[in-house]
């Protein structure tokens, strides 16, 4: 059910016009393993935007905060996406050797995702370190690194290391 909420929110974000007062955000990281490169997304959520990076609350309370970033690929039917939810976010560092008791959940990293089909690479965090350096009513800033495992659309096992992750993104309201 959590994954469905993430996809619902991602779809809602792609169709929601950007508030002109919302500052553009940026989220970037280096990755290696089943794929190698640098991911970077910036801008607020808006219909047809080639990329976006932002945070939103799944409900009307501040008890959790979902971080979302996506970038459209050369073929606009495909995109890369990273999403994770921080339960009860506070300034400080969260270190999780495993995800079983981690206050960060619903994490996923997708490469070459099609809106009407599976991603070529679909991995979930297995461990992480997340630092929130600033948290306000309008933005969140921090850094992260993680190990992730999952699979490919061809059925192969996939591992991914994410390093040098950083974000400075606006908090937006997606749901009334």
Is 165 within the bounds of a domain? yes
Segment 25-65, tens digit of pLDDT: 899 999 999 999 999 999 877 777 788 888 888 655 667 89
Is the Cβ–Cβ distance between 84 and 125 less than 8 Å?
yes
Is 39 within the bounds of a domain? yes
Segment 52-105, tens digit of pLDDT: 888 888 655 667 899 999 999 988 889 999 999 999 999 999 999 999 989 998
Cα dist. 139→4, 22, 68, 93 in Å? 25, 10, 13, 17
pTM of the model: 0.82
Domain count, the chain: 1
Is 175 within the bounds of a domain? no
Mean pLDDT value of segment 160-174: 91
The parent domain of residue 47 ranges over 2-170
Is 123 within the bounds of a domain? yes
């Amino acid at each position: 059910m959590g994954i469905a909420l993430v996809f619902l929110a991602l779809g809602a974000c792609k169709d929601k016009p950007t508030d002109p007062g919302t500052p553009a955000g940026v989220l970037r990281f280096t990755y290696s393993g089943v794929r190698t490169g640098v991911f970077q997304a910036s801008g607020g959520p808006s219909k047809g935007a080639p990329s976006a990076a932002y945070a939103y609350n799944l409900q009307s309370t501040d008890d959790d905060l979902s971080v979302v970033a996506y970038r459209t690929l050369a073929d606009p039917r495909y995109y890369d996406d990273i999403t994770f939810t921080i339960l009860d976010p506070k300034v400080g560092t969260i270190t999780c050797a495993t995800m079983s008791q981690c206050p960060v959940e619903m994490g996923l990293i997708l490469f070459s995702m099609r809106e009407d089909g599976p991603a070529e690479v679909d991995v979930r965090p297995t461990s992480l370190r997340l630092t929130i350096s600033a948290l306000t009513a309008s933005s969140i800033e921090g850094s992260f690194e993680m190990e992730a495992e999952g699979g490919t659309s061809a059925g192969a096992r996939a591992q991914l290391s994410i390093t040098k992750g950083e974000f400075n993104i606006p908090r937006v309201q997606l749901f009334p």
